[in-house]
Structure 1
Amino acid sequence: MTVEEETVEESKERASPLKSSSGVIEGKKVSVQYSAPSVKGRVVWGDLVPYGEVWRTGANEATNVSFGTDVVVEGKTVKAGKYSLFTIPKENEPWTVILNADWDLEHGHFQYNEENDVLRVDVSPTFESSSQESLSIEVVKEGLEIKWEKAKVLLNIE
């Protein structure tokens, strides 16, 4: 599998730098672009990112995911195209991960419209002993890996 990661040059002035990751999973091109906030000593889960509410899975504009061909995400078919990525973190429960057809949202979840969801799946997070300071969303062999603070969510993609 090939994976490319980069921090977009113009993002150096941003508090939450613009980052991207792309790779090929089972012959299918997958890309993600997001703004990466940092913990900065804050309580993330349940405070900065409230439980039970839609989170833009990043900062600033909506995080977007692109698929070069049709893929299967957590057992459900998703057509080739570009989507926004949202998450609903929950305390002591699986988190809801959402792909939405409105991918070009300037203000992230403030413009989110549930009617345009193309996928909603529940994925159980794991919690690491070490902390990830800046949000990381990477294309990995198994799919899309979201890590921030001590939480890690793997969205399986085939």
Structure 2
Amino acid sequence: MFLRSLTTLACTAVLATAGFAQTAKPAAKPMLSPPATASVTLNGKDITIHYNSPRMRGRKIMGDLVPYGKPWRTGANPATTLITPVNLKIGTLEVPAGTYTLFTLPNEKEWLLIVSKKTGEWGIPYPEGNDLGRTPMTGATLPEPQEDMSISFENTKGNTTELHVKWEKTDEYVTVTAE
């Protein structure tokens, strides 16, 4: 009797293990546009941007995947979010402390950075009528194509920095000052 119970228990364990192997989920694929963060400290406070970073993957980006003349969510997946505990001057735009969504309006000659008061959306469609404001960006050409879209704070001095959006051979940036 004991041997029969032991055999039944062993068979049950083998079947359960085999069933587990058949129902186990496959390893998750890496995200095509993984989450990323850009942050800088100005006036002792951390300013943060959360975004998802798309990849070129052999595609033409500017003027094609990112069309000219239409607001772009400036990243992929959820909308790009700016969190600032201090008042900022972004280019010509006064931005009170708070949480905002960032968009850009790409064009061949000049880009605009759009700061939207609407937050929590996926990033498309663009939330018309919710702009805090828009400000021109300065453009530069990268020497080599950049595969991963990035948002970064660069050339930080005191309470001033530059907010850069880079992808393909495009580098668009605007000055940010903590007030």
For Structure 1 versus Structure 2, the TM-score category normalised by the shorter chain is 0.7 to 0.9
Paired position in structure 1 for 2:68:
51
Q: Pick the structure with more strand per residue.
A: 1
- The yes-or-no answer on 1:71 pairing with 2:88 is yes
Q: Please say which structure displays the higher CA radius of gyration.
A: 2
Shift of 1:145: 1.2
Alpha-carbon distance in structure 1 between the residues aligned to 2:87 and 2:29: 34
The verdict on how the C-alpha distance between 1:153 and 1:12 changes in structure 2, with shifts beyond 3 A counting, is farther
The verdict on how the C-alpha distance between 1:71 and 1:130 changes in structure 2, with shifts beyond 3 A counting, is same
Paired position in structure 2 for 1:104:
120
| Paired letter, 1:46 | G
Paired position in structure 2 for 1:157:
176
TM-score under structure 2 length normalisation: 0.76
Paired residues, number: 145
Of all paired residues, the percent bearing the same amino acid is 35
Alpha-carbon distance in structure 2 between the residues aligned to 1:39 and 1:83: 26
Shift of 1:123: 1.3
> Does the aligned pair in 1 maintain the 2:136–2:174 contact within 8 Å?
no
Q: Pick the structure with more helix per residue.
A: 2
Which of 72, 77, 94 pairs up with 1:60?
77
* Matching of residues 122-133 of structure 1 within 5 Å: 122-133=136-147
Shift of 1:23: 1.4
> What are structure 1's unaligned runs of at least 5 residues?
1-10
> Does the aligned pair in 2 maintain the 1:20–1:32 contact within 8 Å?
yes
Which of 131, 150, 159 pairs up with 1:117?
131
Shift of 1:49: 0.7
SS in 2 for 1:115: coil
Structure 1 residue ranges, 4+ long, deviating more than 2 angstroms after superposition: 25-29
| Paired letter, 1:155 | V
> What are structure 2's unaligned runs of at least 5 residues?
1-27
Paired position in structure 2 for 1:8:
none
Alpha-carbon deviations, 1:44-68, whole Å to 9, x = none?
Answer: 0011111101100000110111111
Paired position in structure 1 for 2:56:
39
- The yes-or-no answer on 1:144 pairing with 2:163 is yes
Which of 22, 25, 43 pairs up with 2:39?
22
Shift of 1:26: 4.3
Alpha-carbon distance in structure 1 between the residues aligned to 2:59 and 2:43: 38
**CA RMSD, Structure 1 to Structure 2 (Å):** 1.6
Alpha-carbon deviations, 1:47-96, whole Å to 9, x = none?
Answer: 111110110000011011111111111133110011111011101x2101
TM-score under structure 1 length normalisation: 0.85
SS in 2 for 1:125: strand
| Paired letter, 1:43 | K
